[in-house]
A and B are shown apart, each in its own frame.
Chain A
Amino acid sequence: MSATTLEGAAAPGGGRTSRKPNYRRRRLWGEVGAVAFAIVLVIWTVGPVYNMVMVALDRHDDVFSSHVFPPDPTLNSFWIVVSEGYWYLEYFWHQFANSFYVGIGTTFLTLFIGSLTSFVIGRMRINGGWVISNLALMTYMIPASFLAIPFYLVMQYYDMSNSLWACIAAYVVFATPYAIIVFQQYSVSIPIEIDESARIDGASPWQIYWRLYLPLMAPALVAVGTFALLLAWNDFLYQFLLLSSKRNMTVSVALAQFLNSDEAPWNYMMAAAIIYSIPPIVAYYAFRRRMTSGLTMGGVKG
């Protein structure tokens, strides 16, 4: 069915020929409007980031003068960050690695624990599986920053203060319920008969999980994995509370040190922040398609 036929059929009384130019004009205006909106969106999105870039490019004295473009831009700040040339940035690359460690640890554990749990609930279909998924959801009853204070105190009891694993534990706890929900919804689209025939062939649950379930769930795994990675990468409060020594800090916390000083070189801080933003952008770009397909299946079916 072509568009023009439809248009012609739908028009109350107009003939076909009078519809065509109007349609094209409407589409043109529509496109113009969309482009205008896109420009607004770009300005909205980039605004604060532009401010960060501008501060990063500023010379020390220019940071708080009133200007829209950097009067004397320099890449010096970026160089200082990369070469760890400032006191607070002494361990920048080590802290960057810590951030990765936390992010990747969170991702793998969330995927592993989340997929195992949703496998049991959704594929093995145990009785009372709904109890577990509801309990998981109850984690969200306590918003993250509410749990932070007791969590921090409890980590001291476990002797895990100033430990990257404490952060990983916190993020896994917050990402897993989401993972369970997404996995369950996604797995609806995978017929249960696959599992059954594997069972008949004598496969153990572990083999079904490892060889059938996980590969079929790949898009959802990517979606949830990216979510978990970005959650860990993005968070501030938990890392700030749980990590205190320079060697164990992640970059988010290291950046907070700049707030300590009476005259911090904000340009270095912003340059470090920009460098820190690159991995999530790359991750998103690489996994974009898988992410969107993994997030949906079943979430919307009627």
Chain B
Amino acid sequence: MSTISRRSVLQASLGLAAAAGLSRPYIANAAAKTASVWWTQGFIPEEDAGFEKMVADYQKVSGNRIDYSILPFVALEQKMVSALQTENTPDLIAYDGIQTTMVMSAYANKLVDVSDIVAPHEKDIAKVALQSMKLYNNVEKRRAYYAVPFKTASVPFHVWGSLVEKAGYKMSDCPDTWVERWNWFKPMQAKLRADGMRQIYSIGLQMTTNGPSDGNNLFHYWLLAMGGGNIVTPDGHVHLEDPKVKNAVIETVRWICDTYKGGYTPPGCISWNDADDNNGFHSKLFLMDLDGTISTELAMFHRPEDFNNCVTLGLPKGPDGKPSPAMVGAIGGMIPTAAKNIDVAKDFMRYVIEPKVNSDFLKAGLGRWAPIYPQQVKDDSFWLHNENPQLARHLTPYVEETLLGASYPDYMVYNPGYADVEAQQVWGQTYASVYKDGMTPEKAVDKAFKQVEQLLARYPTTA
């Protein structure tokens, strides 16, 4: 191509530099266009209000229109799956739940590559948020960013500090190592029962197979704490023969089933649905649990007594002395390839991922979702030193756990087959093999591993 001269290259690169330098990462269109967006309904009205404000601001600066639908969780899941199946999709979908559809759609080449939106901010975004959106495309045989992250969450401990004290213990004595911490709570139920709380249990273990995520979260955090983090590696391959992994899983299953048999958790926990463990915590059926986000506490925001009596704890160290990693979930906006207004959708996501816009949006939601920019939480006092001291007690450990510690993304982003492992509640069934069928943890884990292998083998990855 002889027409490309040094001058034209220079002009082109100057032009690009100018565009970049203007740091206006979203385009103001002369011709206003519309994009349809499906967004998940928040847990509190403030989250929705924050979203609507963000949309209104975007429409003002860009001149585009966003035709949005705020949908409840489960409704959006179903609509999303059906839309992608029938290729009759909106332009942008932001689903707050488990990202099964996202990873499966990326695998099937049904999502638009949005690396260009992520790239300008890549060095500022938390590694785990990036990993969560870098998905494998089996048609193009490569990994790329198929969704734009904009919020994160993790699973902290929730404890009724008031009940701990009632049992004669002090929260400051709470152990800083994984297994010891869990075991520390066990004797408390006897003391509280002697004191008149007939129905109390020490721990709320979500051993259930009712979805969607509580059972899997519990298992994963234990797995990570016990050193089994490499069960699936970023290349999508599973490593069940790795002795560290195998041991971690076995010890997890063993501890959980022993605790159940020992009566330290309500027997009904094996059939809890998504709301039951929250109901249990709020009605003080048990002292502590490990549950996603701080929505448990935020739901009590307008009841100061409960809000203040509850304690949020981050993660302690694992048995090897190293900090236990968190499994961090990142939520992203994905654009189906079947969408009709891909440009507008991309433009909107460029706006959403802007640090300032993103920060305002998440702060409006009272901090139930954490940001994707670690520097932001360090710079903005809202996150680690909130002016409301009671909110800070919950928010600070939560944000630290989510963004400032060791973390793994959900394994399904490495291999979509793992999404099936979670959906089929393989780990929850493993507990049942032990406590119901009387298998030893080793045998139960062997059985589970066979199933995991089979599920992951259905989704080969070559990158």
Contacts and interface: CB of A to CB of B under 8 A. Distances in A.
**A, B co-complexed:** yes
Interface of A: 61, 63-66, 87, 149, 152-153, 156-157, 161-162, 240-241, 244-246, 253, 256-257, 259-264, 266
A156 B85 CA distance: 10
Interface string B57-91: 00000000000011111111011001101101000
A142 to B, nearest CB: 18
Given A64-B283, A153-B85, A153-B86, 4 more contacts: A64-B285, A66-B199, A244-B79, A257-B41
Contact of B299 (A61, A153, A240, A263): A263
B184 interface: no
B300 interface: yes
A66 B285 CA distance: 11
A153 B82 contact: yes
Contact of A156 (B69, B70, B76, B83): B83
30 contacts: A61-B283, A63-B283, A64-B279, A64-B282, A64-B285, A156-B82, A156-B86, A157-B86, A157-B88, A162-B69, A240-B74, A245-B69, A245-B71, A246-B70, A256-B72, A256-B74, A257-B41, A259-B274, A260-B41, A260-B72, A260-B73, A260-B74, A261-B275, A262-B43, A262-B275, A262-B278, A262-B295, A262-B296, A263-B296, A263-B299
Contacts of B70: 245-246
Contacts of B285: 64
Nearest to A241: B78
Contacts of A246: 70
B3 to A, nearest CB: 48
B71 A261 contact: no
Contacts of B41: 257, 260
A260 B45 contact: no
A156 B43 contact: no
Central interface residue in A87, A261, A264, by most chain B CB within 10 Å: A261
A70 to B, nearest CB: 15
A151 to B, nearest CB: 10
Interface residues of B, number: 31
Nearest to A154: B86
Contacts of A256: 72, 74
Given A156-B82, A156-B88, A245-B71, A259 B275 contact: yes
B280 interface: yes
Central interface residue in B75, B78, B278, B282, by most chain A CB within 10 Å: B75
Nearest to B38: A244
Contact of A244 (B76, B86, B295): B76
B79 A260 contact: no
B42 to A, nearest CB: 9
B83 to A, nearest CB: 7
Nearest to A159: B88
Nearest to B368: A262
Contact of A260 (B43, B282, B283): B43
A257 B72 contact: yes
Q: Which 3 A-B pairs have the closest CB atoms?
A: A263-B299, A64-B283, A262-B295
B444 to A, nearest CB: 31
Contacts of A261: 43, 275, 299
B45 A87 contact: yes
B72 A152 contact: no
Contacts of A153: 82, 85-86
A277 B377 CA distance: 49
A64 B268 CA distance: 14
A266 B275 CA distance: 11
Nearest to B40: A260
Contacts of B83: 156
Interface in B244-285: 274-275, 278-280, 282-283, 285
A279 to B, nearest CB: 24
Nearest to A246: B70
A152 B71 CA distance: 16
A3 B214 CA distance: 68
Nearest to A259: B275
A266 B300 CA distance: 15
Contacts of A66: 199
Contact of B280 (A64, A245, A266): A64
Given A156-B83, A157-B88, A262 B69 contact: no
B283 A152 contact: no
Interface string B422-458: 0000000000000000000000000000000000000
Contacts of A149: 82
A65 B280 CA distance: 10
Contacts of B274: 259
Interface in B295-315: 295-296, 299-300
A262 B299 contact: yes
Contacts of A240: 74-75, 78
Contacts of A157: 86, 88
Contacts of B78: 152, 240-241
Nearest to A62: B283
Contacts of A263: 278-279, 282, 295-296, 299-300
